[in-house]
Structure 1
Amino acid sequence: MRRIIAVIDTDIRFALKLSDFLSKEDRIPFKAVAYSSFHMYKSETSLMDVVAFITDIDNVDECIDTGLPVILLSDDAMVESKYSNLTKLFCSIFKFCGVHTIVDELLGFFSRNDSFGLTTVHNNTKVYGVYSPINRCGRSSLSVAIHSYFCSANTSSLLISFDEYDSVFSVLRKENSKDLSDIFYEYKTGDLDFAKLGECISRVEDLNIILPARYNEDLFYLSDNELTKFMNDILSANLFETIVLDFGSIGRRSMQMLDMCEQIFCPVIGEKDGVERKKVADFKALLGRNGYSEVIHKLCEIKSPGESISDDIFNFNRLKRHEFFSQISSLVDGA
């Protein structure tokens, strides 16, 4: 049976637009279906399992009577106070705020409730890694470009950066931005769920990005075994079809996570016999000595572009014009 969020509003155009946006929002693992009234919902929902209602004031009483979680789209604070003490499964959101604000409020509401009975929505999540032992080789830009490629192909994708610095992600960080530090803390305390994970995702265009940890030492907040378990738990949730990992400097530390990857794209600079390429050879030797020789076959070297793509990295229309992006597309298609 299909599991949905029912969006009920007498203004059916509003309901249709909101439900369409929510259905495309990767952070919410349910589809949304629009109805103009609770009566219409009752007559059409026999084959659907509703997990929550988003409704206007005209239909809120009927929705509350179902005992399911209800989010009221309200433009009146007095209305909210009338219902807010009735049940913990109720919250009110200002109807005319931005849709991204509505999503953030929904995720916060979901995280406070354990009654949604979440199940997975994607199967066999695939992991693609980006790592190089060479410094300043364009690794983070490459990870964004690969993530952009998956998103452009209508593949649900998440980029997680384990970098020590914001680098290209600095333009996305706001004063109240959440990042990998927050996720590690929630995970360590046992409070991480899909909603809290969603709250920590920064969005630009169609990209879903978990920003690097605020402080370098936070990368060691989880032990190596905990870090591996963290990634396995993220994968078992199956919220995304693909996950792109910008390994930062932890590639040497967490070879088990490298082994999870379908393919590991390794940006390189310098001549074949140069010092930079020797670092790659040394890393491959390290993998062999530590029993991860299979990972060597997953490494796919890619020459960093002579031109900088960092200025265009978060603008897909400009990014796809770069020859480097065509190279990335060919590599990913052949992975």
Structure 2
Amino acid sequence: MVQLKVAVLDKEREYLKQLAAYLVRKKECFFKVWTFWDMRAYERAAEAEVFDALLVTGACLEEMEIEKISSKIILFREDCIPGFAQHLPSVFKYQPVEEVFSQVSALLWQENPLQEEFVSGKRTKMTGVYSPVHVCSQMLFSLTMAQILGEHEKLLYINLQEHSGFYGVTGTDATEDIGDLIYGMMQNGQNFQTGLHRIRRTILNFDYIPPVVNPEHLSEIPQNLYEELFLDLKNNSGYDVVIVDFGNVFLGFAQMLSFFENIYCLEKEGGLNRIRMKEFTGYLEKESESTASRLKHIFLPDEMVLGEEPFSLEKSLYGSLGDYVRNWLGGPKIE
């Protein structure tokens, strides 16, 4: 997989140290980033390395010969945009680093040659998680699996549940969510990769698309857009694995599951639950026997159901839930 090469040129050394520390923690998969506070050091590096983009402050850019820069120039805007850089795309410097690179990512994915090279021959493995009996720990199971697989693979997590509790569990918020991505897909000329890499966020070692804030938006998504979404995720996202946490069944649900290599079906004990599972399995068999045969039935032990204590993603990775998921994935326990 090709990584986009980005040089960051800024005279503020302390900021560059913080930026570098963030990139080490995140283990960024889509970018390889070089940081420079000295212009001469950047120029020497540019002679040996071809950068896809140069993220540069106005103070640095003013001292350079713009016409000799072969990389895509993105102004690292600190305040107002200087007159000589009005024609350049820009990203505001003083915001969370995650926001900075989400915007840089979206700008770079607007370049068609980069898109083609970046995803050439790549098909993403799709994993679906669903509970017909509404196991309350479904999302926790999926997030734990995302952390485990994210240790070694580029992973994107998508939550399609209503009122999932995602923001409370993760301590995150969102200015845009998956509804905005879907809306962009409905607009003619909107590029899927650009929208995806603008909106994606990172937590721990995996990326995610912020879930819907208004659950009514999920009910407005037609079957053809779900199909387009899953096809684009499979063929054009650039990830190794995409995990989709399903909520309610929607029109065309059984057909959509054909896009998924793995389908985890979470169950729980009880006579009524067994009846509901039998009905769900019967529904799938009528729609697609091959899909029904690929269901992986999972009974989460009672002690792994979320209790009163605040849930911690890190704790789930190293606790009994993490060991249980690793066992399903065929990996060792963490001692």
TM-score normalised over the length of structure 2: 0.80
1:276, CA displacement in angstroms?
0.6
Q: Aligned partners of 1:323 and 1:28: how far apart in 2?
A: 29
> Who is 2:286 aligned against?
289
Structure 1 residue 26, shift from structure 2 partner: 7.8
Match of 1:206 in 2: 205
Whole-Å separation in 2 of the counterparts to 1:45 and 1:231: 38
1:183 matched to which residue of 2? 181
Q: Deviations over 1:73-103 (max 9, x none)?
A: 454x36x333342x1x332533x54422422
SS of residue paired to 1:50:
coil
- Structure 1 counterpart of 2:66: 64
Q: Which residue of 1 aligns with 2:302?
A: 306
Q: Which amino acid aligns with 1:60?
A: L
Asked whether the equivalents of residues 7 and 36 of structure 2 are also in contact (C-alpha less than 8 Å), the reply is: yes
Q: Shift of the alpha carbon at 1:269?
A: 0.8
Correspondence 1:265 to 2:264: yes
Q: Which residue of 2 aligns with 1:222?
A: 221
Cα deviation digits, residues 201-232 of structure 1 (max 9, x gap): 34433342223333344224332133112111
For the Cα contact (< 8 Å) 1:137–1:304, is it kept in 2?
no
Gaps of 5+ in 1: none
Contact 1:26–1:156 at 8 Å: present in 2 too? no
* In 2: Cα distance, 1:323 partner to 1:60 partner: 53
Alignment of 1:1-335 (within 5 A): 3-10=4-11, 15=16, 18=19, 21-22=22-23, 29-45=30-46, 48-57=49-58, 59-61=60-62, 62=64, 64-65=66-67, 66=69, 68-73=71-76, 75=78, 77=79, 80-85=81-86, 87=87, 89-91=88-90, 93-94=92-93, 97-107=95-105, 109-110=107-108, 114=111, 117-118=114-115, 119-120=117-118, 123-151=122-150, 153-172=151-170, 176-190=174-188, 191-250=190-249, 253-271=252-270, 274-290=271-287, 292-307=288-303, 308-309=305-306, 313-316=311-314, 318-333=315-330
**Counterpart amino acid of 1:156?**
K
Aligned AA for 1:322? G
Deviation at 1:104, TM superposition (A): 4.3
Residues 143-191 of structure 1 deviation map (CA, whole Å, 9 limit, x = unaligned) = 212112212x232211111112233444558675322211111111142
- The DSSP-based 3-state class of the residue aligned with 2:196 is helix
Deviation at 1:326?
0.8
Unaligned runs of 5+ in 2: none
Task: Kindly report the root-mean-square deviation, in angstroms, between the aligned alpha carbons of the 2 structures.
Answer: 3.4
Matches of 1:283 and 1:124 in 2, distance apart? 29
Q: Structure 1 length as normaliser, TM-score?
A: 0.80
- Please state how far the C-alpha of 1:134 moved relative to its aligned partner: 0.9
State the alpha-carbon separation in 1 of the partners of residues 76 and 166 from structure 2: 37
- 1:39-86 CA distance string (max 9 Å, x none): 4444444564422111244531436322643233454x36x333342x
Give me the whole-angstrom Cα distance separating, in 2, the residues matched to 1:250 and 1:169.
22
Structure 2 counterpart SS, 1:146? helix
- Number of aligned pairs? 323
Deviation at 1:194, TM superposition (A): 3.0
Instruction: Percent identity, please.
Output: 17
- Contact 1:178 1:199 survives alignment (8 Å): no
Query: Residues 121 and 14 from structure 1, CA distance in 2 versus in 1: closer, same or farther, beyond 3 angstroms?
Result: farther
Per-residue CA shift, 1:12-61, capped at 9, x if unaligned?
67547635745876888332223454544444445644221112445314
